[in-house]
Amino acid sequence: MRVLKEKDRILYDKLVRLAGGDSGIVIKVLSNPHRSSVDLKTAVREIEELRNSRNRTPASLAPQAAAV
């Protein structure tokens, strides 16, 4: 049973690209428990804010990104 629509997958991938490849940022924006929906404009703004704030965070304080 297909759950993820193709257009939704494309949108999600675009949001991850906007987040600089950090899907955690996208998940954080879309997991807001105080709302059930968000308009794309607001989501983009929040993703950019989070991305920029993480970029400003010194690397030593940022969580260690692991890779396989």
Partner 1 sequence: MSIAWATVVIVVLLLPGFAFFWGLYAPNQVTREVSPASPLTQLAGVVIISFFVHAFAYLVINRGLCVDFLSFPVPCVDFDELSALVRIDAFTLPGTAPATFRDMLDFYIFWIVLYFLATGAFTGLLGFGAGKLIENGHLRGFTRHRYLFLLEKGRKSEESELVRAHVLSRTQNLNTIIFYDGILQDFFAKADGTISYIVLHDANTSVMEITASGPAHSKNTIPLDVESGLRTTKPFLVITSENIANVYFEPLNTVRIESEADAEMLDDAIDRLEQSEGEAE
Total chain residues near partner 1 (CB under 8 A): 40
Q: What is the DSSP letter of 29?
A: H
Using CB under 8 A as the binding rule, whether residue 57 contacts partner 1 is answered as: no
Q: Are residues 47 and 41 in contact, defined by beta-carbon separation less than 8 angstroms?
A: no
Nearer to partner 1, 6 or 58 (CB): 6
* Residue 14, Ramachandran bin (φ over 0: left; ψ between -120 and 50: alpha; else beta): alpha
Could you list the residues that contact partner 1 (CB under 8 A)? 1-5, 7-9, 11-18, 20, 23-24, 27, 29-32, 35-41, 43-44, 48, 63-68
